[in-house]
Structure 1
Amino acid sequence: MKHTYLHDVLPFLRELEREKQKQFEAYFRTAPLWLMDLFQSEVMEAGITFIRENEPADTIFFVARGRVKATDYRVSGIAYDFMKPMNLIALGGMEVILGQDTYQTTLQTETECIVTKLPRAQYEKWIYSDTEAFRTEARLTCASLLEEERRNRLYLFLEGADRLAVLFADWFEKYSKNEQLCINESRQNLADETGLCLKSISRAIKKFQADDLITKKGNQIWINEKQYRGLKRTVDEKIGSV
């Protein structure tokens, strides 16, 4: 019954792939109807900053479709990406779990996004009164932070092409379909993801192409299962030597 009501209050769910629908259904499985009645959804264009670091964390956001990026402006005034939530995560939920009154990072839409919002006070009332909901949010928050820290540790020891290999292998594991991954990212986005300069990205792509670890088709990069294993083997060898 609740799944039906969830689709009624969030009609765009019916247009999403089944995996994303399941994420919403699982997250809000125990949510009361009064909370669902508070959902507000909107379509945000790419490039919209909807959460700003140090501003009051009074709204919880869920990205139903599209991608967002988190940016840290504190290092010499340079913006760089350090997180891309891909699964259903309560953006602002970490602040609730940690008891923070202000957002801890800045979030911007990278593509056009469908975003659902809830007032923090009512969201907080729900998860603090629902043990299962609190446990779900704590698990997702910890998993996201652990993944971020894992990548940061790898990048601490790896340089140049090896950082890009980590990123490509990670994306293949998460987003490949039928043993194929298509990467349609600009070199600037790849630089933002890895902390490398554009020249290093270009050199790494040329090296991967020469070693048959990627296939270039126009502006797209394609990776098949065999190439993924080659990238992963390269990364594992480097990690084992540090």
Structure 2
Amino acid sequence: MDVFQALPPQKRNYMELLFRNCTEEVKYYMTLIDIEAEHTFIKAGTDCTHIFIILSGKVTGVEWPMHERSYPFKDFGPGDFFGEIECFAGLSQYRISIIASTPCRVLSIPASAYMEWMRMDVDALFLRTQENIHRLITQTAEARKYLFMEGKDRLMVHLIRKFEQRLPTPQVLELKQTRTQIAEEIGFSVKTLNRSIQKLEDMGLIRLQRGKILIPEEGYRAMKAHIEHHING
């Protein structure tokens, strides 16, 4: 299908295999939507009426716990689905909010048409069940690793996410957040955050300018390599 041409080859092939027998209703009602950066296009607690598939750009998943403090927990990109797990689970409302980190193009499909297709197409249902189980297992493992990271490593993960959200890739990224905002997002006290910032500065991975964190591209790459080798390896 032409709508998937912008996806990376492996994901494009997956989508073409998935959609090869989709119903005419799905084809008729699917809609392309362009979304501006920083726009919340799925809000937790609202009715789960559509399935969304990211075709280009990056988005961030945001939890809204009981105390109403938001917690951005993961970035997603081309080929990722939203609203689908809620429908499979029989939930009537979205469980997380999704915010566009960059300008995005999204494919929207009415949830009723999507689920009717899944009930009729065994091959498509198997592909999506397999993918969703893999995603849930992977996210659980990532969350477990994150909880046991030391302070500087959790800060690295945060800074890597912020750097990768900025397109095109900057030579130096100045983080606009206050230290209180960073601490809340990571789940630190400000005192612990300040110690972690000092460690990364001493390691030459970041610079400080008038209290703001500057992330040079070489620092980003060094942090990325560290996390992949020592945490994910």
Global fold match (TM > 0.5): yes
Shift, 1:98, TM fit: 0.7
1:186 paired with 2:204, answer no
* 1:107 shift after superposition: 1.8
- The answer to whether the Cα contact below 8 Å between 1:169 and 1:232 also exists between their aligned partners in 2 is no
Q: What does residue 222 of structure 1 align with? A: 218
Secondary structure at the residue paired with 2:29? coil
How far apart, CA to CA, are the structure 2 residues paired with 1:130 and 1:236?
36
Listed as ranges, the matches of 1:60-99 within 5 Å are 60-99=51-90
Given that 1:44 and 1:112 are in contact with CA atoms closer than 8 Å, whether structure 2 keeps it comes out as: yes
Q: Secondary structure at the match of 1:118?
A: strand
Distance change in 2, residues 1:159/1:117 (3 Å) = same
Deviation of residue 194 (structure 1)?
3.6
Equivalent of residue 15 in structure 2, options 2, 24, 28: 24
Identify if the C-alpha distance between structure 1 residues 18 and 101 changes in structure 2 by more than 3 Å, giving closer, same or farther: same
Give the 3 Å change call, closer, same or farther, for CA 26–99 of structure 1 in structure 2.
Answer: same
- Shift, 1:137, TM fit: 1.6
Could you tell me which amino acid in structure 2 is paired with residue 62 of structure 1?
A: I
State the percentage of identical aligned residues. 22
RMSD: 3.9
For residue 55 of structure 1, what is the aligned residue in structure 2?
Answer: 46
Aligned counterpart, 1:162: 153
Contact 1:166–1:235 (8 Å) recurs in 2: no
User: How big is each residue's C-alpha offset from its partner over 1:165-199, in whole Å with a ceiling of 9 and x where there is no partner?
Assistant: 5668999xx9xxxxxxx895837497676434677
Structure 2: which 5+ runs fail to align? Answer: 165-170, 208-213
Structure 1 gaps of 5+ residues are: 1-5, 175-181, 238-242
Tell me the residue number matched to 1:107: 98
Deviates more, 1:141-150 or 1:224-233: 224-233
Q: Distance in 1 between matches of 2:36 and 2:191?
A: 30
Assess, with a 3 A threshold, how the Cα gap between structure 1 residues 157 and 15 changes in structure 2: closer, same or farther: closer
Q: 1:226 to 1:186 in 2, by over 3 A?
A: closer
Q: Secondary structure at the match of 1:62?
A: strand
User: What amino acid maps onto 1:141 in structure 2?
Assistant: N
Give the counterpart of 1:124 among 115, 118, 121. Answer: 115
- Contact map agreement 2:55 2:78 (CA 8 A) in 1: no
- TM-score (norm: length of structure 1): 0.71
Distance 1:183 1:139 in 2: 39
Aligned residue pairs total 222
Which amino acid in the other structure matches residue 121 of structure 2? D
Summarize the Cα distance change of 1:166–1:15 in structure 2 as closer, same or farther, 3 Å threshold: closer
State the one-letter code of the partner of 1:222. E
Q: 1:205 Cα deviation (Å)?
A: 5.2
Cα deviation for residue 53 of structure 1 reads: 2.0
Deviations 1:19-77 (A, max 9, x none): 55334324324324442232101111122222222222111111111122222222422
Among 135, 143, 146, the residue aligned to 1:152: 143
Alpha-carbon distance between aligned partners in 2 of 1:198 and 1:65, rounded to the nearest angstrom: 35
Q: Return the TM-score normalized by structure 2.
A: 0.73
Q: 1:195 aligns with which of 152, 171, 187?
A: 187
Once the two structures are superposed, residues 139-173 of structure 1 have per-residue CA deviations (whole angstroms, 9 ceiling, x without a partner) of 222222222222221233233113235668999xx
Greater alpha carbon shift after TM alignment, 120-129 vs 159-168: 159-168
Distance 1:236 1:122 in 2: 38
